[in-house]
Amino acid sequence: MSDLQTPAGAPGAASDDAPSTATAAANASSAGAGGRSFLPKSTLLRHLLVLALCAVLAVLLLEGTERSTNDQISRIAFYAIAAGGLTLLTGLNGQISLGHGALMAVGAYTTALMLDVDGDPLPLAVIFLVAVAVTAVVGAIVGVAAARLHGPYLAGATLALAVGVPGLTLYFSDTLGGEQGINVRAPRAPDWFVEGIEALSGERGQGTKWLAYIAVACLLISYFLLANLMRSRIGRTWRAVRDQEVAAELAGISLGSWRVLAFVVSAAAAGLAGGVLAIVVRLTAPGSFLPVLSLSLLTAIVIGGLGSLFGALLGSVLLVLLPEWARDFGLEVLDMESAQASQAAFVIYGLLLVATMLFAPAGLVGTVRLALLRRRAARAMSRAGGG
Amino acid sequence: MAEPHGSTASGHGLPAASGPAGSGTGTATALLDVQGLSASYGPVRALDGVSLRAESGRITAVLGANGAGKTTLLRTISGLVRPTAGHVVLDGEDITRAPVEAMVHKGMAHVPEGRGVIAELTVDENLRVGSLFRGKVGREEFDRVYDLFPRIAERRDNPAHTLSGGERQMLVVGRALLARPRILLLDEPSLGLAPRIVAQIFGLVRQLVDSEGLSVLLVEQNARSALSVADTGVVLNLGRVVVTDDARTLAADEDLRHAYLGF
Amino acid sequence: MEEFLSLTLGGVVNGSVYAAFALALVLIWRSTRIVNFAQGSMAAATTFIAVAVIDSGQSYWVGLIVALLAGLVMGALIERVIIRPVEGGPELNAVIVTLGLFIAIQGAVALFAGVNQRAFVPPFSNIGYEVREGFTLLSLSPNTIWTVAAVVVTMLLLIALFRFTRLGLAMRASAFGQEVARLLGVRVGRMLTLGWALAAAVGALAGLLIAGDVSFISPTFMDQLIVFGFVAAVLGGLDSPIGAVVGGLLLGLALNYVRGYLDDSLLGMASLVILVIVLLVRPGGLFSTTPARRA
């Protein structure tokens, strides 16, 4: 990595070196899996097992914590869903997007509009599916343009998307509510849920709790799907498109369509995240979808480790908790206004983003994985040497 | 090129630093003394303990096949690649760790492979960049370069990317001369040029060496042409020196020519 | 017709600011192959610094000078400390680093100055001249004249620097041929630092000019401008200062027609559409003579 200090130095000396590239977490992930005898061999079975385990953990977590924590978990969930989609796009397929906040807006407004009807709205699952489909279509359009761009050009174009979309909500203010946005009628909890929670922990299973369950369910389902996709042949092809452009093209892989597909899948996740955001926050307004939202998502996946779903989840936890810590600190220690104090979180995000790129481009998960791999390799070497 | 430029004082101050006498064939003291130089690109070792000497007023040709380490050798000497071992001594001063930007101040001009013109600048601007480090330089020095290479004089206000391969080579040699070097490192000047142009450029280099006492370290794959103009030849293979000898002796050694020089 | 004239003039005024901002991006791109997405936040920061100076009782002009100096220092520091390690590395890493700076600087501005909008008083009147009885040309005011003049003078100074000085030649050599320039004894590192410093100062100027034009500022007020500057720079080929100026003017005109005939809220989308069309049809920019660069 020290070779990065001399840009005009040895050609290709550092850029091929795995730890120096941002996507090392994605590279290491496939190597890190497997080799654990107590887990089933089949990827699908293993993921199902993890899914069931996580579901149980989630119920314990939601029932063992207070309302305010339930709400935090809901917010972590929608960030994590969007970040999961983004980490697939950026980590696995090497396409950066600063427009995922705008894609979330598409999902959120779709959800808000479909809930805002006279009489009973459609079932929430249907609404979310529509939100996902609409966002996926928008993602496909963006993806077709994006497939031909790279690096800074793609970053600039998607940033323009992030800046442009909030303006549309003002232009179509009759339907989209303008600056004030749309107040979302959050769905009511069904009776079976209320009774079930009553029986489980004796608490009221309405409002925040119901929404938290929806958010966590969406998170688990989307991560299950994304994890299977990333480990499948499709995921491997995406990686090949990222790392071996020429070889992939020679192998008859159409780079463009694979890039578009990655964008569509990633946008679909952002659409679901937007839907969850709409019901959790109970408001969709342009102020919620400023470019800084897109940049926050990028922060989450880079700090967590590009290409890793677990990293995306960790980063999302940070996105929710850090502003609250910063606000508390500002309020109590620095005697600031709360809105102003929570801005300290952005200073920290930004610096963390820079520091991650400079010192540990593989992010949290990637760096730990690389360290483990290195240790394992060293142990294997010494064993081979000794025997 | 009346007086050598750079820190000549230190050259006299440190006579002991020139190290043990190398295995070179020359009898004069070496202007450039490369001692046991090694360098790697990641895990690939490109230079493995290379030693050679380039003497004042002579042309030393470094020969060898593609991938023998010739270009890496020049890049390591001028500091573009950091050596893993060994020393580079210029006129008694150890310059192994000196920054690239300082080399030209010490009297070493490196003309990199692939013409090294700055395509976006005009011919005249390219020449001016070559003399920037010296402060204000009289117009007559530029005119001298243009006299040496009338073909680029005609095109002095054109962007350098409009030049032909031969013209580019003339431009970069001319630009290096504006730095008033004591030693010129030339990397594959014949690459992709017509034999007539190669002969013209080599002839000019020889003339400068003979008339001005310039010394040249020439890296070439085109061994036949290089040996015809050089005084000494150094044959590299896989990052090591195979043989160092008088240029004419090398050109006459049929086995060596077949094994390493391809003619 | 009168509306068209007014919109066109306004387009030139806005376009000149976009041009200055695009120029700042181009200066950095051609020397380090990095698009500085933090440019907007940096300009917002220097604008707030100028406002703090003006609030303390100094004149606009003292504030302007302090902002330019702050830009110089900030640009140099950022290049030296943060950008240098990622120069020449994987392009995604450099992009992410500038985005990190984008967030951090914007957050820092909000932390110190608050998240709310506040008024900004331009140095000259923003009231349009009445060109003839009953027709006031809104976009021709003392302040818009100052805006255009400031940009034109900056351009001329930069052209003079690059064309006629040894320092400018060294900077261009460093930008176009890093390795060759180093071999020729040019201190390339210093030139790159200087390039970032100059670019940040030009960005600082653009920030103050746009603040005077819209008469309010907030920590995010440059978010749109970074996109407009980028689009303008890409229109001009991202490599060419002249292209950036022409691209800025063209974008200014196009967006002002959108503003006038459609709506203010569509500016971002319009710039996206223009950007995508240019990138897909002429990735090398409108005036590229060299073979098309892959976007």
pLDDT of residue A22: 55
pLDDT of residue A1: 31
- Closest chain B C-alpha to A12 CA, distance in angstroms: 8
CB-CB contact of C247 with C285 (8 Å): yes
Residue C264: pLDDT band (50, 70, 90) is confident
- The residue of chain A nearest to residue C38, with distances taken between CA atoms, is A350
pLDDT of residue C45: 97
Q: How far apart are CA A25 and CA A27, in angstroms?
A: 5
Indicate the residue of C169, C179, C187 with minimum beta-carbon distance to B129. Answer: C169
CB-CB contact of A132 with A265 (8 Å): no
Question: A129, A143, A47, A137: which is closest to A95 by C-alpha?
Answer: A143
**Which residues of A have a CB under 8 Å from any CB of B?**
8-13, 16-17
- Closest chain B C-alpha to C194 CA, distance in angstroms: 17
Residue B28: pLDDT band (50, 70, 90) is low
CB-CB contact of A279 with A109 (8 Å): no
- The residue of chain A nearest to residue B72, with distances taken between CA atoms, is A10
- Lowest-pLDDT range, A16-25, B175-184, C10-19, C105-114? A16-25
Mean pLDDT over each residue of chain B, to the nearest integer: 82
User: In chain C, what is the greatest distance between 2 CA atoms, to the nearest angstrom?
Assistant: 66
A337 vs C: CB within 8 A: yes
Question: Does the pLDDT value for residue C172 go beyond 60?
Answer: yes
Question: A265, A302, A220, A264: which is closest to A25 by C-alpha?
Answer: A302
pLDDT of residue A23: 56
Mean pLDDT over each residue of chain A, to the nearest integer: 83
CB-CB contact of A275 with A131 (8 Å): yes
Cβ of B4: how many Cβ atoms within 10 Å?
17
pLDDT of residue B18: 35
Residue of A1, A4, A6 for testing the chain B interface, max B β-carbons within 10 Å: A6
Report DSSP letters for C119-166, one per residue.
E---SS--PPEEEETTEEETT-SHHHHHHHHHHHHHHHHHHHHHHH-H
B42 contacts on A by Cβ (under 8 Å): 10, 13, 16-17
Cα torsion for B203, B209, B214, B218, to the nearest 10°?
50
Question: Does the pLDDT value for residue A130 go beyond 70?
Answer: yes
B41 vs A: CB within 8 A: yes
How many domains does chain C fold into?
A: 1
Q: Which residue type occupies A377? A: A
- The tokens for C72 are 């110089």
Residue for token pair 């994304």: A226
pLDDT of residue C173: 92
Q: Which chains touch A (3 or more CB pairs under 8 A)?
A: B, C
- Closest chain C C-alpha to A31 CA, distance in angstroms: 23
pLDDT of residue B189: 87
Note whether A17 contacts B82, CB cutoff 8 Å.
no
pLDDT tens-digit map of C130-163: 877 777 777 888 999 999 999 999 999 999 999 8
pLDDT of residue B20: 38
How much is the average pLDDT of B204-221?
A: 90
- The residue of chain C nearest to residue B81, with distances taken between CA atoms, is C179
Cβ of A57: how many Cβ atoms within 10 Å?
12
Q: Work out the percent of chain C whose per-residue pLDDT is above 70.
A: 97
Domain boundaries in chain A? Answer: 42-286
- Closest chain C C-alpha to B137 CA, distance in angstroms: 11
Residue of A15, A159, A288, A290 for testing the chain C interface, max C β-carbons within 10 Å: A159
- Lowest-pLDDT range, B162-166, B203-207, C133-137? C133-137
Domain that holds residue C255: 2-281
Question: Does the pLDDT value for residue A129 go beyond 60?
Answer: yes
Q: How far apart are CA C148 and CA C11, in angstroms?
A: 11
- Lowest-pLDDT range, B84-98, B231-245, B247-261, C63-77? B247-261
- Closest chain A C-alpha to C79 CA, distance in angstroms: 13
How much is the average pLDDT of A160-187?
A: 88
pLDDT of residue A381: 76
Note whether C268 contacts A160, CB cutoff 8 Å.
yes
Question: Does the pLDDT value for residue C181 go beyond 60?
Answer: yes
pLDDT of residue C79: 95
Indicate the residue of C115, C182, C283 with minimum beta-carbon distance to A8. Answer: C182
C227 contacts on A by Cβ (under 8 Å): 156, 159-160, 163-164
Q: Which chains touch C (3 or more CB pairs under 8 A)?
A: A, B
Note whether B41 contacts A8, CB cutoff 8 Å.
no
How much is the average pLDDT of A205-214?
A: 84
Q: How far apart are CA B232 and CA B246, in angstroms?
A: 5
Note whether A8 contacts C178, CB cutoff 8 Å.
yes
- The tokens for B20 are 């043990």
Q: How far apart are CA A366 and CA A351, in angstroms?
A: 19
- Closest chain C C-alpha to A96 CA, distance in angstroms: 8
- Closest chain A C-alpha to B237 CA, distance in angstroms: 20
How many residue contacts between B and C have a Cβ separation below 8 Å? Answer: 69
Higher pLDDT, C124 or A384: C124
A148 contacts on C by Cβ (under 8 Å): 279-280, 295
Question: Does the pLDDT value for residue A17 go beyond 90?
Answer: no
Residue of C174, C183, C240, C288 for testing the chain B interface, max B β-carbons within 10 Å: C183
- Closest chain C C-alpha to A156 CA, distance in angstroms: 7
A53 vs C: CB within 8 A: no
For chain A, how far is it from start to end, CA to CA, in angstroms? 33
- Closest chain A C-alpha to B168 CA, distance in angstroms: 22
pLDDT tens-digit map of A35-69: 445 666 677 888 888 888 888 888 888 877 888 88
How much is the average pLDDT of C87-93?
A: 85
Note whether A156 contacts C108, CB cutoff 8 Å.
no
Residue for token pair 């430029």: B5
Does residue C184 sit in helix, strand or coil?
coil
Question: A135, A50, A65, A48: which is closest to A100 by C-alpha?
Answer: A135
Note whether B42 contacts A8, CB cutoff 8 Å.
no
How much is the average pLDDT of A303-312?
A: 90
C290 inside domain: no
Q: Which chains touch B (3 or more CB pairs under 8 A)?
A: A, C
Note whether A96 contacts C95, CB cutoff 8 Å.
yes
Cα torsion for C156, C162, C167, C170, to the nearest 10°?
170
Q: Work out the percent of chain C whose per-residue pLDDT is above 90.
A: 65
Q: How far apart are CA A38 and CA A50, in angstroms?
A: 12
Note whether B41 contacts A17, CB cutoff 8 Å.
no
Question: Does the pLDDT value for residue C51 go beyond 50?
Answer: yes
CB-CB contact of C115 with C218 (8 Å): yes
Q: Which residue type occupies C51? A: V
| Rg of chain A on CA atoms, in Å | 22
Exposed e or buried b for every residue in A340-374, given b needs 16+ CB within 10 A? Answer: bbbbbbbbbbbbbbbebbbebbbbbbbbbbbeeee
SS3 letters across chain B = CCCCCCCHHHHHHCHHHHCCCCCCCCCCCEEEEEEEEEEEECCEEEEEEEEEEEECCCEEEEECCCCCCHHHHHHHHCCCCCCCEEEEEECCEECCCCCHHHHHHHCEEEECCCCCCCCCCEHHHHHHHHHHHHCCCCHHHHHHHHHHCHHHHCCCCCEHHHCCHHHHHHHHHHHHHCCCCCEEEEECCCCCCCHHHHHHHHHHHHHHHHHHCCEEEEEECCHHHHHHHCCEEEEEECCEEEEEEEHHHHHHCHHHHHHHHCC
Residue for token pair 């369509």: A257
pLDDT of residue C289: 52
- Lowest-pLDDT range, A186-190, B141-145, C120-124? A186-190
SS3 letters across C38-75 = CHHHHHHHHHHHHHHHHHCCCCHHHHHHHHHHHHHHHH
Which ipTM value was assigned to this complex? 0.90
A287 vs C: CB within 8 A: no
C269 contacts on A by Cβ (under 8 Å): 164-165, 167-168
Q: Which residue type occupies C44? A: A
For chain C, how far is it from start to end, CA to CA, in angstroms? 39
C114 contacts on A by Cβ (under 8 Å): 337, 339-340
Q: How far apart are CA B118 and CA B160, in angstroms?
A: 7
Note whether C170 contacts B132, CB cutoff 8 Å.
yes
Note whether C95 contacts A151, CB cutoff 8 Å.
yes
B78 contacts on C by Cβ (under 8 Å): 183
B101 contacts on A by Cβ (under 8 Å): none
Q: Work out the percent of chain A whose per-residue pLDDT is above 70.
A: 88
Could you tell me the pTM of the whole model?
Answer: 0.84
Does residue C116 sit in helix, strand or coil?
coil
Phi and psi at residue B114, to the nearest 5°: 80, 30
A13 contacts on B by Cβ (under 8 Å): 41-42
pLDDT of residue A39: 60
- Closest chain C C-alpha to B79 CA, distance in angstroms: 9
Q: Looking at A123-240, which runs of residues are DSSP E strands?
A: 182-183
Report DSSP letters for A257-324, one per residue.
HHHHHHHHHHHHHHHHHHHHHHHHHSEE-GGGGSHHHHHHHHHHHHHH-TT-HHHHHHHHHHHHHHHH
pLDDT of residue A32: 39
Question: What CATH number does residue C111 fall under?
Answer: 1.10.3470
- The residue of chain B nearest to residue A10, with distances taken between CA atoms, is B81
C176 vs B: CB within 8 A: yes
How much is the average pLDDT of A297-307?
A: 91
Question: Does the pLDDT value for residue C15 go beyond 50?
Answer: yes
Query: Distances in Å between the alpha carbon of A94 and those of A15, A22, B94?
Result: 15, 9, 45
Note whether B82 contacts A9, CB cutoff 8 Å.
yes
Note whether B119 contacts C176, CB cutoff 8 Å.
yes
Residue of C28, C35, C36, C99 for testing the chain A interface, max A β-carbons within 10 Å: C99
C124 inside domain: yes
Note whether C178 contacts A350, CB cutoff 8 Å.
no
Note whether A9 contacts B42, CB cutoff 8 Å.
no
Cβ of C292: how many Cβ atoms within 10 Å?
10
